[in-house]
Chain A
Amino acid sequence: MGTTQSGIHRGRLAPAEYETNFSDLHPRLDDHEALVAADRCYFCYDAPCMTACPTSIDIPMFIRQISTGNPIGSAKTIFDQNILGGMCARVCPTETLCEQACVRNTAEHRPVEIGRLQRYATDVAMTENKHFYERAARTGKAVAVVGAGPAGLACAHRLAMNGHDVVIFEAREKAGGLNEYGIATYKAVDDFAQAEVDYVLSIGGIEVKNGLKLGRDFTLADLTANFDAVFLGMGLAGVNALGAEGENLPGVVDAVDFIAELRQATDKATIPVGRRVVVIGGGMTAIDAAVQAKLLGAEEVTICYRRGKEHMNASEFEQDLAASKGVMIRHWLQPKRVIARDGHVAGIEVEYTEMRDGKLTGTGETGVLAADQIFKAIGQTFETGGLGSLAMAGNRIAIDAEGRTSIANVWAGGDCVKSGEDLTVTSVAQGRDAADSINRMLAAGAQPAVAVA
């Protein structure tokens, strides 16, 4: 088959090439590498890396524990703050969080490899099946969690620890949320997302009900009527439209669906990809789709982003990764019209853009990029349904600093709330903190908690 046959096809590569292309992006450090990397940490006081971490992991401490031959203790330091520390070690944009804050940057422009050290410690503990938390005596209180993604899992784990009974309602077939469906394959190999879900759930007291979707199968009112508290941790189910003519043609695909399908495929050769692929968007999803299209054997992959490089949501590291895989990133181009031939995508007409009077405007100059597959990655939307009178902020759920919503005994966190970050690690922090808030409320004897009017 090869990379040069036009159209959308599966099996472009030899089996060994798929194997190589979708292997671990950054394999785990071995013991020696971890010691060398850990030795570089200065054990800063009130460390900037720790402040930069949304879950406030005690980074100097966990690295020191690695350097003293105590990876298990190190893992506990991490999990104390972030029970999904294993996945965060793989997917966090560390270059804009902890590693950006590392003081080593000041003198050497090379931070301590915090992300990889975190993966080392958490992998050691999870491989050895070390569990650090036990449930407190059962309180008899029941909490419903909607969504088994990072926010929901972190919340459920902390609630279960405190002795509450938790039921997670998950719309999809598997738990994990974006960790399972939304992360590039090479960032979480060996079914890590499910291994992590199992690790988190092993504390007990958490029941996951799959295939139940809020708004379709039940409502928020059903939950508030039957549970002592509710945590809403849904993701973003909707996808923004291009607003360009022809976007419903076969061959125009949602990037999130492509990424999910690829993650679920045991044999990557079964996933078809175009010869010439255009990805519209500038975030992590655009990068993940573009890179993986290339890895599946697309000859030519171009990302079109309607603003400049400095505006891209994808981190510098991700952009470099895409470039290293042969993805072309073009800026200041917006989609205008999908061009069809024989009822199928043949290209996309794009228009140059510029900032005019502080407003993004098309210049009128257009051009055509040949394409037989187009991925839409221009953002996702929160689909409200079954939430009743719950107050919103923008298009997402309004919460206060503790994660409380406008409805008594209902908390929310993760992508369904307005935080502006849409990061796994932020979702974990919100889920965890909401659990602490719920626990305080339950412990205080069911004082109704309403914060947002």
Chain B
Amino acid sequence: MADLRNTFVGIKSPNPFWLASAPPTDKAYNVERAFKAGWGGVVWKTLGEEGPPVVNVNGPRYGAIWGADRRLLGLNNIELITDRDLYTNLREMKQVKMNWPDRALIASIMVPCEEESWKAILPLVEETGADGIELNFGCPHGMSERGMGAAVGQVPEYIEMVVRWCKQYTRMPVITKLTPNITDIRKPARAAKAGGTDAVSLINTINSIVSVDLDNFAPNPTVGGKGTHGGYCGPAVKPIALNMVAEIARDPETRGLPISGIGGITTWRDAAEFLALGAGNVQVCTAAMTYGFKIVQEMITGLSSWMDAKGHRSLDDIIARAVPNVTDWQYLNLNYIAKAHIDQDACIKCGRCHIACEDTSHQAITQFVDGVRHFEVMEDECVGCNLCVNVCPVENCITMVGLEPGVLDQRTGKPVDPNYANWTTHPNNPMARQAAE
């Protein structure tokens, strides 16, 4: 059996699956249920300053987009940080940590961007026995209008400053949660590192309007006839999150900085992908909000089975394994040539590959052969783009097959060159670096 035990910035948990700071972790009742279901840790829903708590809207807080059969693909929310009293939260956190000493319990914090505010709350949190803190620099709605959340996360200098305060006033590990609502994710990550953060976590939610109510001409969710942008999460954001995690993992300035991966993780496979791209553990929210806490059991057994099947004994065997294979476009091998291949036994003859290729790409898939409906790749036209693979409704029916060196590429009429060659040296590139004579 693969060993799923996880240590992240010194915090131990029985598996790498934490619940992200969000509605599922707002109170002891939910967190206790989550731990019973098997979650390795939780990041408690973000605590605010002492005093009257924030208030939430009393209308709808969520919007969504769906795939076939109303499968939830993307969720958007306009909920704020915890709207419960600070001391109620702290009391419950302390009790839960006592009840579940083997699970990770992290406090997410968001207070005004003033040293005194951070200095005041940190000892209160430390007293609960929490394993660490996560700085919420990501919340994109509501709190950002008040100079907190994403308003901090979008200014690297503020990030560095606040992280520095936290490292100064607490012994707890500091995880800095980043907002994706920024052009270059490496900048806030570098700032967090400069401030001394122990780790970054990402992504927080993405600014979004999920849909428009066409009867009332207002964004959804609509609160009394008006809507506002929310934070987007769920399976739809996973590709954006994966890229941002990889960017930080392979940036020379932040390489090695622990990353807690967040963004649309719904299955064990999603989690494995984040780990492979450099995340030290993962955080989940939307999957739990869609299916309940039991979903973690699929993630645990799925990750474990896959690791066993592949001979990976511990998480260290997979973490960051894909990072060296993430590169810039300019370094991709232009001499690698692949062609689509359609498995005729698996083909159901829907014709989607044909029409996608015919209408929008390279006219490389037949519709009829000898007068019979038959979809086949014409290798002399196929550029290997992979669109047909992606639109085919049958998994593994169409696959990309790389041509062996020396084999004739029917499209170009030339044999496949066995040598690696990329854009930097390509004759069409005006900036090409010529090899020394």
Question: Do A39 and B69 form a contact, CB below 8 Å, given A45-B354, A45-B355, A46-B367?
Answer: yes
Q: Quick check: A106 and B349 within 8 Å, CB to CB?
A: yes
Quick one: which of A36, A39, A45, A107 has the most chain B CB within 10 A? A45
Closest Cβ–Cβ distance, residue A106 to chain B (whole Å): 4
Interfacial chain B residues near A103, Cβ < 8 Å: 348-350
Q: Quick check: B350 and A44 within 8 Å, CB to CB?
A: yes
B334 at the interface (CB under 8 A from A): no
Q: Quick check: A39 and B348 within 8 Å, CB to CB?
A: no
Q: Quick check: A42 and B393 within 8 Å, CB to CB?
A: yes
Interfacial chain B residues near A44, Cβ < 8 Å: 349-352
Binary interface encoding of chain A residues 28-50 relative to chain B, with 1 for a CB under 8 A from any of its CBs, else 0: 00000001100110111111100
Determine the distance from Cα of A42 to Cα of B391 in the docked complex, in whole angstroms. Answer: 10
A104 at the interface (CB under 8 A from B): yes
Interfacial chain B residues near A48, Cβ < 8 Å: 349, 373
Determine the distance from Cα of A36 to Cα of B68 in the docked complex, in whole angstroms. Answer: 8
Interfacial chain A residues near B354, Cβ < 8 Å: 45
Determine the distance from Cα of A103 to Cα of B352 in the docked complex, in whole angstroms. Answer: 11
B212 at the interface (CB under 8 A from A): no
Query: At the interface, is chain A mostly helix, strand, loop or mixed?
Result: loop
Closest Cβ–Cβ distance, residue A64 to chain B (whole Å): 12
Q: Quick check: A106 and B348 within 8 Å, CB to CB?
A: yes
Determine the distance from Cα of A40 to Cα of B393 in the docked complex, in whole angstroms. Answer: 11
Determine the distance from Cα of A40 to Cα of B348 in the docked complex, in whole angstroms. Answer: 14
Interfacial chain B residues near A36, Cβ < 8 Å: 69
Interfacial chain A residues near B394, Cβ < 8 Å: 107
Determine the distance from Cα of A36 to Cα of B70 in the docked complex, in whole angstroms. Answer: 8
Determine the distance from Cα of A110 to Cα of B394 in the docked complex, in whole angstroms. Answer: 15
Nearest residue (CB) in B for A43 is B352
Interfacial chain A residues near B349, Cβ < 8 Å: 44, 48, 103, 106
Determine the distance from Cα of A107 to Cα of B351 in the docked complex, in whole angstroms. Answer: 14
Nearest residue (CB) in B for A42 is B350
Closest Cβ–Cβ distance, residue A305 to chain B (whole Å): 35
Q: Quick check: A104 and B351 within 8 Å, CB to CB?
A: no
Taking CB atoms and an 8 Å cut-off, the chain B residues in 303-354 that contact chain A are 346-352, 354
Nearest residue (CB) in A for B354 is A45
Determine the distance from Cα of A248 to Cα of B68 in the docked complex, in whole angstroms. Answer: 59
Closest Cβ–Cβ distance, residue B364 to chain A (whole Å): 15
Q: Quick check: B350 and A39 within 8 Å, CB to CB?
A: no
Determine the distance from Cα of A26 to Cα of B349 in the docked complex, in whole angstroms. Answer: 29
B contacts with A, residue count (CB < 8 A)? 16
Determine the distance from Cα of A42 to Cα of B354 in the docked complex, in whole angstroms. Answer: 13
Closest Cβ–Cβ distance, residue B175 to chain A (whole Å): 40
A contacts with B, residue count (CB < 8 A)? 15
Closest Cβ–Cβ distance, residue A206 to chain B (whole Å): 38
Q: Quick check: A39 and B352 within 8 Å, CB to CB?
A: no
Taking CB atoms and an 8 Å cut-off, the chain A residues in 88-106 that contact chain B are 103-104, 106
Interfacial chain B residues near A104, Cβ < 8 Å: 348
Determine the distance from Cα of A420 to Cα of B354 in the docked complex, in whole angstroms. Answer: 34
Closest Cβ–Cβ distance, residue A72 to chain B (whole Å): 15
Nearest residue (CB) in A for B368 is A46
Determine the distance from Cα of A103 to Cα of B392 in the docked complex, in whole angstroms. Answer: 12
Residue among B68, B346, B351, B355 making CB contact with A39, cutoff 8 Å: B68
Binary interface encoding of chain B residues 355-373 relative to chain A, with 1 for a CB under 8 A from any of its CBs, else 0: 1000000000001000001
Q: Quick check: A45 and B68 within 8 Å, CB to CB?
A: no
Determine the distance from Cα of A39 to Cα of B352 in the docked complex, in whole angstroms. Answer: 16
Interfacial chain B residues near A107, Cβ < 8 Å: 346, 348, 394
Binary interface encoding of chain A residues 104-131 relative to chain B, with 1 for a CB under 8 A from any of its CBs, else 0: 1011000000000000000000000000
Nearest residue (CB) in A for B373 is A48
Nearest residue (CB) in B for A36 is B69
Interfacial chain B residues near A40, Cβ < 8 Å: 68
Taking CB atoms and an 8 Å cut-off, the chain A residues in 304-319 that contact chain B are none
Nearest residue (CB) in A for B69 is A39
Closest Cβ–Cβ distance, residue B366 to chain A (whole Å): 12
Nearest residue (CB) in A for B394 is A107
Closest Cβ–Cβ distance, residue A136 to chain B (whole Å): 34
Determine the distance from Cα of A205 to Cα of B352 in the docked complex, in whole angstroms. Answer: 43
Interfacial chain A residues near B373, Cβ < 8 Å: 46, 48
Nearest residue (CB) in B for A47 is B351
Question: Do A42 and B367 form a contact, CB below 8 Å, given A36-B69, A107-B394?
Answer: no
Closest Cβ–Cβ distance, residue A45 to chain B (whole Å): 3
Interfacial chain B residues near A43, Cβ < 8 Å: 352
Q: Quick check: A46 and B351 within 8 Å, CB to CB?
A: yes
Interfacial chain B residues near A47, Cβ < 8 Å: 350-351
Nearest residue (CB) in A for B346 is A107
Interfacial chain B residues near A106, Cβ < 8 Å: 347-349
Nearest residue (CB) in B for A39 is B68
Quick one: which of B350, B352, B354, B373 has the most chain A CB within 10 A? B350
Nearest residue (CB) in B for A32 is B70
Determine the distance from Cα of A40 to Cα of B68 in the docked complex, in whole angstroms. Answer: 8
Which 9 residue pairs spanning A and B have beta carbons closest together? A45-B351, A45-B355, A106-B348, A39-B68, A103-B348, A44-B350, A42-B350, A103-B350, A39-B69
Q: Which residues does B use to contact A, with CB under 8 Å?
A: 68-70, 346-352, 354-355, 367, 373, 393-394
Q: List 19 A-B contacts (CB under 8 A).
A: A35-B70, A36-B69, A39-B68, A42-B352, A42-B393, A43-B352, A44-B349, A44-B350, A44-B351, A45-B352, A46-B355, A46-B367, A47-B350, A47-B351, A48-B349, A103-B350, A104-B348, A106-B348, A106-B349
- A36-B69, A45-B355 provided; 15 other pairs, C-beta below 8 A? A39-B69, A40-B68, A42-B393, A44-B350, A45-B350, A45-B354, A45-B367, A46-B373, A103-B348, A103-B349, A103-B350, A106-B347, A107-B346, A107-B348, A107-B394
